[in-house]
Amino acid sequence: MKKIVIFGVGLIGGSVALALKKAQTKPGSMQIIGLGRNPASLASALQLGVIDAGLDSEQADLQTTLADADVILIAAPVAQTSGILARIKPHLNPHTVITDAGSTKSDVLACAQTILVEQFNQFVGGHPIAGAEKSGVTAARADLFVGKNVVLTPSANTQADALARVTEFWQACGAKVSSMPAQAHDEIFASVSHLPHLLAFALVDELAARPNAAELFGFAASGFRDFTRIAGSHPEMWRDISLANKDALLKELAAYQDELARLKTLLQNQDGAGLEALFSRASLARNAWSDGKL
């Protein structure tokens, strides 16, 4: 890979750039161009050496920018994907592969198919399962993806070469790459990623609205910090994810509300044995997962 173009140089896009630079066998042999909406963020990325050039994504000369690009990575919030695809489509060449880092995949693939049409076979949906509660390029790390999972969601139209190259792209960042259908991806991550974020946001929002919020937060300790860490995540990004995966998330919220109703009933009935049984099941499952046995 000699030329990489990244739309969205924040935590994910910036970390990809740093990881690829670190993986170069010959320093300087790869050019990484970052595009974004925030001039200050692009300036920081340049100053930190994350990218080699920074351009306004709305005003850049895309014909020149995308010429001879090996990979285009869309690492912007998912709601921006359609606009980016529409702008890059006239300037794509058959050699370029396009991928993304969005946390939802069915909507992204449908959007890419509609916009790219005959060039859709050059697109490979992707989702790096890595992140942090802090956002922005200043939080980017070269080792963010090392040992972490990246899920690719190729379609029946995807070129085998495009899938292979995107796989190599993420492996160069240190990630473990696997593939699955887009719908399966969205259902899985609604339960183990998107729902937990909603719960953390909701709890912090509810507590912060109370008259004694300062007192509550003043006494909060490590358990609260661990549970609510992800409530510090990027609000725009999680707005887009929640709306894009609405149907799967509504199912997960309903299932969680059923579990809360069972918990409420156990408390109302002072059912200590039932509470302990529930807690034991959860504890065993959590520890088995943590130990790699689940």
pLDDT, tens digit (0-9, with 9 covering 90-100), for 47-73: 999 999 999 888 889 999 999 999 999
Per-residue model confidence as pLDDT tens digits over 7-43? 999 999 999 999 999 998 787 789 999 999 899 999 9
What pLDDT is attached to residue 65? Answer: 94
Structural domains of the chain, ranges and CATH numbers in brackets? 3-180 (3.40.50.720), 185-290 (1.10.3660.10)
What pLDDT is attached to residue 135? Answer: 76
Mean pLDDT of 239-267: 96
Place of tokens 């007192």: 215
Q: What is the pTM of this model?
A: 0.87
Tell me which residue of 96, 90, 154 sits closest to 116, measured CA to CA.
90
Torsion of CA 41, 44, 50, 52, to 10 degrees: 90
Question: Average pLDDT, whole number, for the chain?
Answer: 94
Per-residue model confidence as pLDDT tens digits over 191-206? 999 999 999 999 999 9
What pLDDT is attached to residue 220? Answer: 96
Per-residue model confidence as pLDDT tens digits over 72-108? 999 998 889 999 999 999 999 999 999 999 999 999 9
* Nearby residues of 107 by Cβ (< 8 Å), 6 or more positions away: 78, 244, 245
| Confidence label for 131 from pLDDT (cuts 50, 70 and 90) | confident
* Nearby residues of 229 by Cβ (< 8 Å), 6 or more positions away: 133, 200
What pLDDT is attached to residue 133? Answer: 62
Torsion of CA 241, 245, 251, 252, to 10 degrees: -30
- CA angle (22, 87, 127) in 5-degree steps: 45
Residue 8 in contact with residue 74, Cβ under 8 Å? yes
